[in-house]
């Protein structure tokens, strides 16, 4: 029971700060799951990040389902995923009640103010994949740099990044094992 | 859309959309483009609000679109449709990954995917940071505050974001009058 409450507490905090969607949530997920609770080691965290990129759905939900299961089985994954859903829904309902109609100007201003904050979070989200890949060796780093070139130059990979990731995963399974 | 249609509309999109975030908004927009019962303006108001609240964009846009068509029940059906595919997929994969995460093949797979993920994040960060910082010199202040508080001092990201937002509000009140 205690662990379920801890899962709710951690994932509610992740959900409450998940502005900007997607990758900018990574520093919050890393802080809660690696630093604050120790549920994941840094290298496990990088595995969860990799997993979330080759499966559908928002990274926060992927991380919640996986870590919830790891900590407390199916009940754990249910309460963790629900936390990621319910907190934003409550905030959204609160916002809908407060503003009778959406004031475009205020909303735009709010998002402009958030923008550099989200940019900072995004920048921080680079640390984990870069340091872990550097630790994985020269070949892994070379793959990363080649990946940037492929995404810049090849339209297909630019439009379908998960395809690149799956190819990279297969290459990795062959050459790193 | 009926409640059942709402569920499957989001279920379908969520099951094939990797990474979440902006991508999902594009898919939803495509999906409702030929419908007569919602205008482009109404949808862009929803996108605007969805992007102003924390949490996965898939959840907030599903909630708002469900509410537009069928009220509370519509919201719940749409959110359930959006959340179930990633939840079920990770739930199926979790025990397999936990069991085999020690094998060299699985570790190699994740190393490869992580190298590709590093490439994707580098691209996203580069584009985002460049455009954020070119919006005005001030943006570098909250940007650096967030990175320093979380990355250097290891402060809870939620509190760090709040601090950076207070910096933004203070400037709003004092300087931009």
User: Do B129 and B159 belong together in one domain?
Assistant: yes
Domain with B35, as residue range(s), is: 3-100
User: Do B112 and B168 belong together in one domain?
Assistant: yes
Q: Does A80 touch chain B (CB under 8 A)?
A: no
User: Do B127 and B153 belong together in one domain?
Assistant: yes
User: Do B17 and B93 belong together in one domain?
Assistant: yes
CA distance B169 to B65: 31
- pTM value? 0.92
Of B18, B63, B146, the CB nearest to A89: B63
Tokens, residue B130: 């460049």
CB A56 within 8 A of CB B93: no
> Minimal CA–CA distance to A147: which of B129, B165, B118?
B118
Q: How many residues does chain A have?
A: 177
> What is the number of structural domains in chain B?
2
User: Do B111 and B131 belong together in one domain?
Assistant: yes
pLDDT 10s digits, A31-68: 999 999 999 999 999 999 999 999 998 999 999 999 99
User: Do B39 and B108 belong together in one domain?
Assistant: no
Tell me which of B72, B100, B128 is where a domain ends.
Answer: B100
Contacts of A130 in chain B (CB under 8 A): 118, 122
CB contact under 8 A, B113 and A102: no
Compute the CA torsion angle B58, B64, B68, B71 (nearest 10 deg).
Answer: 110
Contacts of B91 in chain A (CB under 8 A): 65, 69, 74, 77
Domain with A72, as residue range(s), is: 2-102
User: Do B8 and B59 belong together in one domain?
Assistant: yes
What ipTM describes this predicted complex?
Answer: 0.91
**A51, A94, A154: best to mutate for the B interface, most B CBs within 10 A:** A51
Tell me which of B68, B100, B132 is where a domain ends.
Answer: B100
> What is the number of structural domains in chain A?
1
User: Do B19 and B62 belong together in one domain?
Assistant: yes
User: Do B83 and B112 belong together in one domain?
Assistant: no
> Minimal CA–CA distance to B76: which of B10, B18, B121, B130?
B10
- pLDDT confidence band for A103 (50 / 70 / 90): confident
B36 pLDDT higher than 70? yes
Q: Does residue A67 sit within a domain?
A: yes
Give the per-residue pLDDT at A61. Answer: 95
């Amino acid at each position: 029971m205690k662990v379920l409450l801890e899962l709710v507490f951690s994932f509610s905090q992740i959900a409450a700060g998940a502005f900007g969607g997607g990758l900018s949530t990574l520093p919050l997920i890393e802080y809660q799951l690696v630093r604050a609770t120790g549920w994941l080691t840094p290298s496990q965290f990088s595995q969860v990040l990799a997993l979330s990129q080759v499966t559908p759905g928002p990274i926060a939900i992927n991380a919640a389902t996986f870590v919830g299961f790891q900590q407390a089985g199916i009940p754990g994954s249910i309460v963790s995923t629900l936390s990621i859903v319910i907190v934003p829904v409550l905030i959204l309902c609160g916002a809908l009640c407060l503003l009778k109609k959406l004031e475009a100007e205020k909303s735009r201003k709010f998002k402009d103010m958030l923008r550099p904050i989200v940019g900072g979070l995004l920048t921080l989200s680079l640390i984990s994949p870069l340091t872990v890949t550097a630790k994985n060796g020269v070949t892994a780093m070379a793959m990363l740099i080649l990946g940037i070139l492929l995404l810049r130059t090849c339209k297909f990979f630019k439009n379908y990044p998960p395809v690149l990731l799956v190819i990279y995963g297969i290459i990795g399974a062959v050459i790193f094992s | 859309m009926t409640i059942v249609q709402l569920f499957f509309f989001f279920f379908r999109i969520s099951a094939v959309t990797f990474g979440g975030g902006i991508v999902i908004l594009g898919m939803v927009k495509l999906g409702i483009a030929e419908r007569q019962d919602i205008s482009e303006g109404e949808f862009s108001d929803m996108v605007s609000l969805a992007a102003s609240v924390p949490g996965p964009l898939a959840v907030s846009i599903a909630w708002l679109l469900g509410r537009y068509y069928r009220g509370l029940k519509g919201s719940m059906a749409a959110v359930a449709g959006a959340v179930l595919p990633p939840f079920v997929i990770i739930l199926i994969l979790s025990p397999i990954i936990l069991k085999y995460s020690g094998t060299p093949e699985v570790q190699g797979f994740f190393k490869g995917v992580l190298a590709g993920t590093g490439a994707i994040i580098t691209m996203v960060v580069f584009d985002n940071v460049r455009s954020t910082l070119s919006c005005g010199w001030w943006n570098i202040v909250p940007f650096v505050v967030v990175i320093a508080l979380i990355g250097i001092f290891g402060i809870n990201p939620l509190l760090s974001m709040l601090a950076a937002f207070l910096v933004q509000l203070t400037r709003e009140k004092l300087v931009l009058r």
